[in-house]
Amino acid sequence: MKNEIQQDAWTQVCALNDIVPNTGVCALVNEQQIAIFHVNDGETRLFAVDNYDPSAQASVLSRGLIGNLGERIVVASPIYKNHFDLMTGECLEMPEHSINAYPVRVTDGKVWLGA
């Protein structure tokens, strides 16, 4: 995993209402694709991970399905269905294919990505 996003920086990526609840979008931040997920299960939560799926060798995670495996909130890759923990980026089936997870916040209805 290689984090190339500038450290200690916050970048505004979109408005919160641009992301349909329980789906993801892809944002290009410093020439890197980041998947941002809006999970609404009684409370609004945002998660951000690399959009690149190392197993499939494709930038597709923002199109994956969000769900739960035990206590973990995960996204299932749309190609091989590997599950990535949205809090940590860990690939549950193949830990060696884990990805970066990023801090994300909402301020005044705007989504900000930090690294």
pLDDT (tens digit per residue) in 30-58:
999 999 999 998 889 999 999 999 999 99
Q: Give the pLDDT of residue 42.
A: 87
Q: Give the pLDDT of residue 8.
A: 64
Whether residue 115 lies inside any domain: the answer is no
Whether residue 15 lies inside any domain: the answer is yes
The residues, ordered by sequence, that sit 6+ positions from 43 with a Cβ below 8 Å of its Cβ are none
Structurally, the chain folds into a number of domains equal to 1
Is residue 71 packed enough to be buried (19+ CB in 10 Å), middle (13-18) or exposed (0-12)? exposed
Whether residue 101 lies inside any domain: the answer is yes
Whether residue 36 lies inside any domain: the answer is yes
Whether residue 93 lies inside any domain: the answer is yes
What range defines the domain where residue 48 resides? 10-110
Whether residue 2 lies inside any domain: the answer is no
Any idea what the CATH number is for the domain that residue 21 is in?
2.102.10.10
Whether residue 98 lies inside any domain: the answer is yes
Q: Give the pLDDT of residue 41.
A: 86
List residues bridging with 112 in a β-sheet.
12, 105
Q: Give the pLDDT of residue 1.
A: 46
In angstroms, the CA 55 to CA 5 distance is 22
Q: Give the pLDDT of residue 17.
A: 96
Q: Give the pLDDT of residue 67.
A: 96
> b/e for 75-97, b at 16 or more Cβ within 10 A?
bbbeeeebbbbbeebbbbeeeeb
- 10-residue mean pLDDT profile of the chain (115 residues): values are 59 97 97 97 94 98 97 97 98 98 97 92
Whether residue 44 lies inside any domain: the answer is yes
What is the residue-wise DSSP string for 89-101?
--BSS-GGG---E
The phi-psi region of residue 87 (left if phi > 0; otherwise alpha if psi is between -120 and 50; otherwise beta) is alpha
